[in-house]
Amino acid sequence: MAAPDTILILGGTTEARALAARLTGSVTQRVLTSLAGRTTTPEAIAGETRVGGFGGAAGLARYIAEARVVLVVDATHPFAAAISANAVAACGRVGVPCLRLERPAWRPLPDDRWQVVANIPAAARAIPPGARALVTVGRQEIQAFLEREDIHFVARMIEPPGIAIPDRAELLLARPPFTVEDENRLMRERAIDVLVTKNSGGSASVAKLMAARQRALPVIMVERPVKPPVPAAPDVDSMLDLISGALP
């Protein structure tokens, strides 16, 4: 029997999981979520899942053709730049529509003290000497901060980085969401004087920005990488509308 038509969700985010839950059973196509395989214990996802890279844009194009993918929804994290570029290139190659589900970026309020930087190395360089920073970046991005021997920092991430953390830093393993009270307490107890974060957007980890605002702390904000333009939606409901217009 021929494989059924498939909607491929490139996942790894809360929004991707929510989209899979809404689509599964409500469309005639098979709903398949792809994960990179970075998280050892991913949360349950509705529909089918597959894990691991495709082998660049060419590999993804082959996969799309072989798995009878009729639509790709790139619901990866705003900072996952390679897979988004691959998705656009692969879909272009095989003539399949590519949509993007991307949560809006955070914006500063008038009294916020943001220093916007282009990337993680720039964020590590921007921390003032002697500072006590709360660094909320992924485990693969922590190296640049470890190279700063003149700062103390709390590195908060979901899974251990797999590298040694020196005494001047503290590793804190925790999974969002966090409350503003939690974030305030953490900043107070560790005497944090600067927050470092990527502009991931969304509500699950926004409490740290609210706590920083209440404490009048400066924020070093890493801006998002630029992704190739495709039809995009900021939330699951608007993505469902886009999908119904894009399906063959």
Tell me the closest approach of the beta carbon of residue 88 to ligand NAP, in angstroms. Answer: 12
Binding status of residue 53 toward ligand NAP by CB under 6 A: yes
Sheet holding 69-74, edge to edge: 48-51, 30-35, 6-10, 69-74, 98-101, 232-233
Binding status of residue 138 toward ligand NAP by CB under 6 A: yes
Binding status of residue 136 toward ligand NAP by CB under 6 A: no
Binding status of residue 169 toward ligand NAP by CB under 6 A: no
Q: What is the CB-side half-sphere exposure of residue 95 using CA atoms within 13 A?
A: 1
Binding status of residue 79 toward ligand NAP by CB under 6 A: yes
Stretch that binds ligand NAP, among 29-37, 126-134, 178-186, 235-243 (CB under 6 A): 29-37
Between residues 56 and 97, which has the closer beta carbon with respect to ligand NAP? 56
Binding status of residue 69 toward ligand NAP by CB under 6 A: no
Residue 210 host element (H or E): helix 207-214
C-alpha dist (Å) from residue 108 to 165, 213, 229: 32, 10, 24
Task: Give the binding-site size for ligand NAP (rule: CB under 6 A).
Answer: 23
Cα 29 → chain centroid: 26
Q: Answer for the pair 73, 101: CB distance below 8 angstroms, yes or no.
A: yes
- Separation between Cα atoms, residue 179 and residue 205, nearest integer Å: 9
Q: Pattern 175-214, binding to ligand NAP, x per CB under 6 A?
A: ----------------------------------------
Helix, coil or strand: residue 17:
helix
Binding status of residue 101 toward ligand NAP by CB under 6 A: no
Binding status of residue 218 toward ligand NAP by CB under 6 A: no
Contacts of 18 (CB under 8 A, 6+ apart): 236
Count Cβ atoms within 10 A of the Cβ of residue 240 and give its class: 0-12 exposed, 13-18 middle, 19 or more buried.
middle
Binding status of residue 55 toward ligand NAP by CB under 6 A: yes
Stretch that binds ligand NAP, among 75-83, 103-111, 125-133, 237-245 (CB under 6 A): 75-83
- Whose tokens are 């000497």? That residue is 129
Return the residue nearest ligand NAP (CB atom).
53
Where on the chain is the footprint of ligand NAP (CB under 6 A)?
Answer: 10-13, 34-36, 38, 53-56, 59-60, 76-77, 79-83, 86, 138
